[in-house]
Amino acid sequence: MVRRSDHLTQLRKLERRHLLRGGLSLGAAAMLGGCDLSTKDGVVDRVLWSMLRFNDRVQAALFDPNRLAATFRPDQITRPFKFNAYYPVSQVRKPDPDWQLEVSGLVGEDKSWSLDELRALPQDSQITRHICVEGWSQIGQWSGVPLGLFLRRIGADLRARYVGFECFDDYSSSIDMASALHPQTILALDFEGAPLTPEWGAPVRLRIPTKLGFKNPKNIAAITVTNTYPGGYWEDQGYNWFSGS
């Protein structure tokens, strides 16, 4: 038998615990206010943001354009493969039937690419480790058009600093040109030998095993070649922009 008074005691305990915890976090926040990248003008946050930019430069210097990420055998592929995005799998968006990949910025011709045109280009396949910024990792197989080949095909200025990606699920990201031209950086059209389904990034996603998972945008709508820092969904919140592996 459950009595009302029991519930009341429990509720009071809970309230007290919440108050205590709230007080503790408030104390911590007051002591170190703005030390989580949430502000642009807090002293600690300013130091952290400039350290992030310093880390970008160190990682760009460390990046070897010829060093390949480790590859794996088909029997080492992780199954089931874990879905991950900034939203749950139930909110995955399907591409429009008339989807085309837009290309803009420092490129030879402003032309949109259909999926068939992308499939007609030379394709490359890889089995590589996808490492999430959270620490977990999984091995998957992707194939598609090497991004370096595509950038040359569209007459992109290869001396430009950034390649930016806009996605129709309102995600975005951007990478440095050196990483874009890496031989293992591909515009993936297939996942495990079959055309990408929406949750894995249909119709085209970036697969770049020399960077962390969040630098592998899915459901791409547009690619921009630019010298203006494009940032990205997570990068703007404080994930390190370069995030090289």
**Residue type (1 letter), 58:** V
Contact (CB, 8 A) for 164 and 172? yes
State in angstroms the smallest separation of the CB of 163 from other proteins. 19
Q: Between 84 and 100, whose beta carbon lies closer to other proteins?
A: 84
Contact (CB, 8 A) for 60 and 242? yes
Q: Between 115 and 133, whose beta carbon lies closer to other proteins?
A: 133
CA 56-225-149 angle, 5° bins? 100
State in angstroms the smallest separation of the CB of 25 from other proteins. 6
- List residues near other proteins by CB under 8 A: 21, 24-25, 28, 35-38, 47-49, 51-52, 54-55, 62-64, 67-70, 129, 131-137, 209-210, 234, 237-240, 244-245
Distance from C-alpha of 243 to C-alpha of 175, rounded to nearest angstrom? 9
| Beta bridge mates, 59 | none
State in angstroms the smallest separation of the CB of 38 from other proteins. 7
Distance from C-alpha of 198 to C-alpha of 97, rounded to nearest angstrom? 12
Q: Between 2 and 70, whose beta carbon lies closer to other proteins?
A: 70
State in angstroms the smallest separation of the CB of 173 from other proteins. 14
Residues in the chain: 245
Distance from C-alpha of 156 to C-alpha of 103, rounded to nearest angstrom? 10
Please report which residue ranges of 32-94 form alpha helices under DSSP H.
Answer: 43-62
State in angstroms the smallest separation of the CB of 200 from other proteins. 20
State in angstroms the smallest separation of the CB of 137 from other proteins. 6
Using DSSP's 3-state secondary structure scheme, residue 9 falls into helix
Q: Between 174 and 224, whose beta carbon lies closer to other proteins?
A: 174
State in angstroms the smallest separation of the CB of 48 from other proteins. 5
Q: Between 63 and 168, whose beta carbon lies closer to other proteins?
A: 63
Q: Between 52 and 149, whose beta carbon lies closer to other proteins?
A: 52
Two tokens, residue 167: 């996605």
Q: Between 8 and 28, whose beta carbon lies closer to other proteins?
A: 28
174: nearest Cα among 162, 183, 186, 160 = 162
Distance from C-alpha of 122 to C-alpha of 120, rounded to nearest angstrom? 7
